[in-house]
Amino acid sequence: MSFSRRNFLIATGVAAGASTVLSACSSGNAGGSGSNKAPSVDKAAAATIAVGTKADSTGPAPEVEGAVKGGTIYTLDQIDCDHLDPAQLYSSYEGAVSVPFLRGLTGYKVDAKGKVTLVGDLATDAGTMTDGGKTWAFTLKDNVKWQDGADVTIEDVRWTFERLFAKFVTQGPRYPQSWLIGGDKYKGPYEGKHLDSIEISGNTVTFRLKEGHSDFNFMLAMRGFSLVPKKHDTKEKYDKQPFSCGPYKIESRSIGKSMTLVRNTHWVADTDPIRNAYPDKFEMQFGFELQASTDRYIADAGNDQYTVSMFNEVAPTRMQQVLGNATLKKRVLTQVDTTCYYYAINTKRVPDVKVRQALNYAWPSKQAQQIRGGSSSSAIATTIISPLTPGHQDFDLYGKKTKPTGDPEKAKALLKEAGKVGQKVVIAFQQSDTAVKTAVAIKTALTKAGFDVVTKQVDKTSFYSQIGQLDNEYDLFAAGWGPDWPAGYAVIQPCFDSSQIADGGVNWPQLRNTGVDKAIAAATVEADPKKAAKMWGDLDRQIMELAAVVPDYNPIRNWMYGSKIGGIQYDAGNTCIAMTKLYRKA
């Protein structure tokens, strides 16, 4: 997402995440059966992501059966990308659409059956760990080219990670800044200084960490750590049109309206185990609400037959029509997701835990689910860690499963105890048709519970940039987080450790709690995976007792697409449709 991903940002339009949402494990059912039965979030199993060998890391990517080259594929989505500079990129939507032109040291390889493997992308393999995970080495592949034909160099690798420390980088994932030795004092490479804990020798880069992290290579698979060429680094301006070493490059952009990707003729397929490159061009189109895009998919006319959405899903108002029609449902990819969408409560503005608990009790979970399209679109969430992520514990502190429409009496009683009946709360939503309806339901429920509610619609494209500011003017805001890789650490630490409170950070609740911080530190260094998973689950409960967020839902994705789109496949590593597997049917 931190998508952990910021989630993600492949959503129904109510919230767009994280994450992370660059989530690294997911499971569910592919569409096409014609069945009306929604997959179960609680019963879905987390996908296993193995670490591949050097042989797995060689290209070219496995061919997609029946795929043909040529033509243009179109997209219909609500939003453009807020960021494309990898250092600033931290949403799953941005991660999904950047796979064709951004490459990192590691990445996720998807086979024909949907099995996902962590492999070396620009590196010859998925890395070599020594010293209990405190030292990691990666060797750069030969013959990898930038879009101008220049070689990708080991100096580019070092530059990519050193520039993460620059002052203008305020939005992206911050694991290296926290993990690398000396990262707390380093200010970036622009004044000619290197970070000693990033060493290069020949074609190999070595990272030296403060503590052991056996999942460092999974962390590097995030699009936020894709390479940036030192020669073409334009600092802040790089965000608008990054340089490519993938199969496609950005030909043109009209911010908020469109982006065109064309072939990068210098891409060498033999170096890339992940990406295929079937269409000649991607024409990405922005500004389409869910109902508008769904209606075009239903009509399936003209170029819409060659169209797919990376963000937009089936509109809640069309869910029954589409999923209840066996013919239409054949053109829907349905997938359970690891993300938890929640409303972060600004603990700085709402410091009283009883008030925050009252918000949880009063929440209209069932009403919001119906607005999203019912149980076919989502499951009501009661925890921060998804049922699909290691560390999940099944608990329901605020009675959402027994009273899914909310418990206004319990909420009002807590407000009375706190002396806060009538407390004003300002809630931020992303602009969308669904969000408008959801805001009404939430305002009605919270008002009944004794709150004075103000709702504000915020521009979707810049939403996370706005809520990421420490001085934002919102008490609650719709957010979402899917793990950056399959571990409780990747859900809890980025979002609730007080060290992550900063402008552009993703501790959106601005939670400062000594007990939580100590528990995070202990779980981080626990080497036994089973013990660590339990510790992260205990932390989930501890944070929910503090009511730092209101868990809202775990998504069930329903992506519709045109009848002449081939290669539709789910990428569980990046929690999205695998964009580089797509092709135009004849």
Q: How confident is the model at residue 148 (pLDDT cuts 50, 70, 90)?
A: very high
Question: Going by DSSP bridges, is the β-strand pair 135-139/204-208 parallel, antiparallel, or unpaired?
Answer: antiparallel
Q: Model's pTM, two decimal places?
A: 0.82
CA distances from 349 to 64, 201, 498 (A): 52, 49, 16
How do residues 171-181 score in pLDDT, each as one tens digit? Answer: 888 899 999 99
Bridge partners of 262, per DSSP, are 249, 281
List the domains of the chain with CATH numbers: 102-239 (3.40.190.10)
Query: b/e map of 314-335 (b: 16 or more CB within 10 Å)?
Result: bbbbbbeebbeeeebbebbbbb
Identity of residue 570? Y
Give the residues across from 340 on adjacent strands: 481
Q: Does the pLDDT value for residue 147 go beyond 90? A: yes
CB 486 within 8 A of CB 214: no
Dist CA 334 CA 205 (whole Å): 40
Confidence at residue 459, expressed as pLDDT on a 0 to 100 scale: 83
Shortest CA distance to 209 belongs to which of 175, 177, 181, 174?
181
Among 22-36, 80-94, 208-222, where is mean pLDDT lowest? 22-36
pLDDT over 50 at 204, yes or no: yes
Cα(500)–Cα(344) distance, rounded to whole angstroms?
A: 15
| Phi–psi pair at 373, nearest 5 degrees | 120, 10
Residue 15 pLDDT: 31
Least Cα distance to 477 among 382, 335, 346 occurs for: 346
> What per-residue confidence (pLDDT) applies to 373?
85
- Tell me the average pLDDT across 270-276: 97
Give the bridge partners for 207, in sequence order. Answer: 136, 198
Beta strands in 222-299 (DSSP E): 248-254, 258-263, 281-286
Question: If we measure between CA atoms, which residue out of 177, 19, 185 comes closest to residue 91?
Answer: 19
Report, in angstroms and rounded to the nearest whole number, the Rg of the chain calculated over CA atoms.
Answer: 22
Q: What is the pLDDT of residue 88?
A: 93
- pLDDT of 30 > 70? The answer is no
pLDDT at 118 exceeding the cut of 70: yes
CB burial string 541-551: b at 16+ within 10 A, e below: ebbbebbbbbb
